Structures are given as C-alpha cells and as structure tokens.
Amino acid sequence: MNLQEVSLFLVITETRSLTQAAKRLNISAMAVSRRLASLERELGVRLVQRTTRSVSLTQEGLEFLPYARALVDAETGARALFSPSTQDAAGLLRITAPSGFGRRNILPLIPELLADNPKLSIDLQLSEEVVDIVGRGIDVAIRIAPLKDSTLIARKITDNPRVICASPAYLNAQGTPRSVADLIQHNCLRLSSVPQWIFEREGQILRVSVEGRFSSDNVEGVRELCVQGLGIAQLTRWDVREEIQQGALIELVLADVEPQALSVWALLPSTRYLPLRVSTFIDKLTSSLTPGINAAGR
C-alpha cells in the first residue's frame, strides 16, 4: 500500500475537500483525485463520497480511518527510531476529556509537554459529550464514567471513586449524615447527568434518589456551591481532591454503603501501534496523578 496515498486520504478526511487537500499538499486537485482513486482500487472499496462542494467518508472510509492513521504513525515512529534528532514526541496530539477534570489535571501539564517536545502540537477538547474518537480523529480520550463494551483499547490511569462531601459550615448548620437514609434530610447538589447518587453495597451497585434545589451539567458549578455551603455533593475524588486537602470540603463516610469504585481511563483507537506523542502524554498524566491519589486516599 502506498503510504503517500494513505497520508493523502488522511488530509482529505481533515479538510473534507479535495481542493483544500490539494492546497495543503501543494499539488493539483487532479493529482489528489487520481491518488485517491488509486488507493480505492488498491483496497477494492470506495472510501469517499465526492460532491461538487465537499466530500464525506463512506462506511468503508470510516472503518479504514484508524488503520490509515496507524500506518502513517508507524512509518513516522520507525523513522524516528533511527533518527537522534527526532527522539521527542512530535505531530498533532488530539485529546478529549471531561471539562472539569481536564481543566484541573490536563491543562497544567500542557506547558511542560510542549516545552519538552518542540515538535509536538496539542488539540485539547474539553466536553462532557462522549465523542466518536475514531470518526473525529482523536488520539486519546480520558474517561471517568464506567466503560461500555467497545472496540477501543482502555488503559487504567488511576482510581477515582465517587465521594460525597460538604463544607464545614454546612455540616455545622445542618448536621452530618451517617447513613443513606439521612440524605433525605439534606439539600443535595446534583449533576444533571447523574440523576441518582450511586454507591456500592456488598459488591452491588445501589442507586439512591436524592432531592435538592440546585443541579448543573457542570462539575465546577456543583463543586463551587458545595464549597459555599449550599449543600452536599457527590463528585469523584479527583474533582474535589484539592478542596478536601485544604479543608474547604470534608469527605463524608456513610456507615451502610461504600463509594462507587470508578477509575480514570485512557481510551485509544483499536490499533496495536501507539504513537510516541500518545504514550508521552499518558505517561505524563499517570505520573501527575498517581502520587496524589495515594495522598488523598483514606
């Protein structure tokens, strides 16, 4: 398979235009069309639907996309292996992560990653949306929610259980819940995406309906109002680690349930080859989180 044609296919998927791909590669639109047709003949399938204004991937094109990236990345890695001048991570690293976790735990790593790897660029997308990482060309997705079955590769980075917490001022005024039943008496600050609070009891998941006067789709909003003393919140440990360490929030322990055992995961496209830019980021994130979780544990 001609790797130049594979690389051209990737440019087309990024620009969604044969004309724009031609401009980026500094070749004619006719040459782009000819090389794409050659790749399609090689594979025996149509990869792209062409119109007068834009192009879109066929189902076969979507299925080929992660393999195309793997082929190009493997070639880049092989060349770098024998080139002393390119031992650092290079290329565009595309990351997606939950907004609250990303702002606190990924953004602070970016300056050092870029400083240590002059040929590296980073596109960080912070969103609560679960995106199609293959279709959008994402190198690595950071996930905290329980993982669903998929063809993606999951690498555990660190533990991140759900915890309930409140400010000292709130607990002094309203008292401290000791069991699940006590939560009924409290104002519970809720994430819109988690309508019930989740615990574990004897290895089984327990979902508890709670009431409160405030909910948000944003972790930072729930955490801020919790710090201000408006109620009790259930978030993950890494969402409130700093506030608990500083005493702004107190982690609560209920006698009849355990926190749900979640983890921070790195999800990768289903390829064997892992580009250096991806492994460098995962190693950096893992090393930044591992010591802290031990210090924050009970």
Going residue by residue through the chain, which has 298 residues, state the pLDDT in tens, using 9 for 90 and above.
Answer: 788 899 999 998 888 888 888 888 889 989 998 999 999 999 999 999 887 567 888 989 888 988 888 888 777 767 665 555 556 788 889 999 998 899 999 999 999 999 999 989 999 999 877 777 877 778 899 998 777 756 678 899 999 999 999 999 999 999 999 999 999 999 999 998 888 999 999 889 999 999 999 999 889 999 999 999 999 999 999 999 999 999 999 999 999 999 999 999 999 886 566 788 899 999 999 999 976 444 444 3
DSSP the chain: --HHHHHHHHHHHHHS-HHHHHHHHTS-HHHHHHHHHHHHHHHTS--EEE-SS-EEE-HHHHHHHHHHHHHHHHHHHHHHHT-GGG-S--EEEEEEE-HHHIIIIIGGGHHHHHHH-TTEEEEEEE-SS---TTTTT-SEEEE-SPPPP-SSEEEEEEE--EEEEE-HHHHHHH----SGGGGGGS-EEEETT-SEEEEEETTEEEEEE---S-EES-HHHHHHHHHTTS-EEEEEHHHHHHHHHHTSSEEE--TT-EE---EEEEEE-S-S---HHHHHHHHHHHHHHHHHHHHH--
